[in-house]
Amino acid sequence: MASSIQFYGVTLTNYYSSNSSPSDGFVDPNTIQSYYSYDTYNTTNYYSVSGSQYAFETTPSGLTLSLCTAKRRANHRWSEIIRQLELASNVIIYPASITVTGGSSPGWTPTSLTFQMVVPFGDSGIMTLDETAQTPTYLSGPSAITRCIARALIADQFRELDIFDPTSSTSVPTGTTSVPRFGIRINPTTYNSTYSFNTPLEIGAYASSLTNAATNCITVSYLP
C-alpha cells in the first residue's frame, strides 16, 4: 500500500523587521541563553557563538533587558505556531531541519526561519476552517498550514514568562534589605508601598491581519 505521508518545507520571513514592542522579536525557537556556549575549561565565563568572551555574571556586551524581552516574545510565537498546527493535525517538525538566519548575535532578531514538517495522510490530513469565508469553507494542505501559522502571528496575548535580565538592579527578596541581582525574572515586577506583583508580558501581534501574515511572511512548499 502506497504511503500518503506528505513532507512540507516552511519558510518564515521577518517582513515587519521594524516592529516595536510589544510586536518585536519575530519568531525564534532559541532562547537568549542558546546563543552562548559553555567553556568547560572556564567555570566562570560563557563564550558567544562569534568567539567573544562573555560572562553572565555581568551584562554581556550589547545585551539589554529589552532585547531579552523581545527574544521571549519570539520564543512564545514559535510555541504558538506549533500549538496552532497541532490543533489542525498530528504534525511532526524535524528539529534538525530548523534553521534560524540572522539571529546568531545574542539578542538580535532573526531575518528568517525555516523548518521541515510531515503530515500523515498528506494534504487531507491537515484541515482547518477558513474563518474569513462567509459560508463554511475548509482549508487543507499548504493553505491550512499557512493559515495556522498566520493565526499565531496575529495573536495578541498576555503571559507570565521567565525573562533573562542581564542588568544588575536592587530587589527586596526578604525584609527591607535591598540587594543587587540579575538573571531570570518572571516578567518585570512592579512595586508599591504594600506589595509587589508581576505584570503580564504582552506578546503583541507580529502581523496586522491573516492576509498580511500569509502574503508577506509565510511560504509553504512540498518536499519530495
The C-alpha cell at 180 is 543587587
Q: Taking the complete model, does pTM exceed 0.85, yes or no? A: no
In terms of C-beta density within 10 A (0-12 exposed, 13-18 middle, 19 or more buried), how is residue 114 classed? middle
Q: Is the dihedral of CA 204, 210, 211, 214 positive or negative?
A: positive
The C-alpha cell at 90 is 498530528
CA distance 126 to 87: 9
Sequence spans of domains, the chain? 7-29+65-223
- Alpha-helical runs (H) found in the chain: 65-88, 141-154, 210-217
Indicate the DSSP class of residue 95.
G
Q: How far is CA 178 from CA 175, 181, 191, in A?
A: 9, 9, 13
CA angle 3, 9, 12 (to 5 degrees): 155
Bridge partner residues of 171 (DSSP): 179
Alpha carbon 14 to chain centroid distance?
Answer: 12
Q: Can you give the pLDDT of all 224 residues of the chain as single tens digits?
A: 345 899 999 999 999 999 999 999 999 998 887 776 544 444 444 444 444 444 455 566 677 888 889 999 999 999 999 999 999 999 999 999 999 998 666 667 999 999 999 999 999 999 999 999 999 999 999 999 999 999 999 999 999 888 887 776 665 555 566 655 666 776 655 555 555 556 788 999 999 999 999 999 999 999 99
